Amino acid sequence: MTPSTVAGSDRDAQIVKNDFSMDEAGGFVADMETSNNIQQGATGTSYPGQDPETGSYTMSGQYSYVAPNGQTVTVTWTADENGYSAESDAIPQLSAEHQAAIDGSVGALPETFSDSV
């Protein structure tokens, strides 16, 4: 597969599947696919709080596509009260040395920050 073949098929890609449903509580399920093998699915769940502004929402899903080298790349992700997290073999991982440096730096931070210097 040459880059021009990939670019041409991307340029002409069509949406071949686009499903979306939402429940009364605000949760949803979405599923999408294109003619050039991009796929995406996601779900969302609403957790109401005592007041409308105190609720929370979680989402999770995955997407995949064919990279220029012909490999299929799949990313699985979540977004919730802890932030966004993605996992994939295509995402570079920190070496043990780099992770240790980060862990050591975080421990050296003060517990609180003050605006007055």
10-residue averages of pLDDT along the chain (117 residues): 53 94 92 95 91 85 94 95 91 85 71 58
Whether 44 and 27 have beta carbons less than 8 Å apart is answered as yes
Q: Count the alpha carbons within 13 Å of 117 in the hemisphere toward its beta carbon.
A: 0
Confirm whether 114 is domain-assigned: no
End-to-end CA distance of the chain: 59
Residue that is written with structure tokens 């240790």 in the block: 100
> Tokens in use for 71?
């490999």
pTM for this structure? Answer: 0.69
Look up the domain containing 103 and give its range: 3-108
The pLDDT value given to residue 59: 96
Confirm whether 115 is domain-assigned: no
- Give the count of domains, the chain: 1
Whether 42 and 33 have beta carbons less than 8 Å apart is answered as no
Confirm whether 41 is domain-assigned: yes
Confirm whether 116 is domain-assigned: no
The pLDDT value given to residue 31: 98
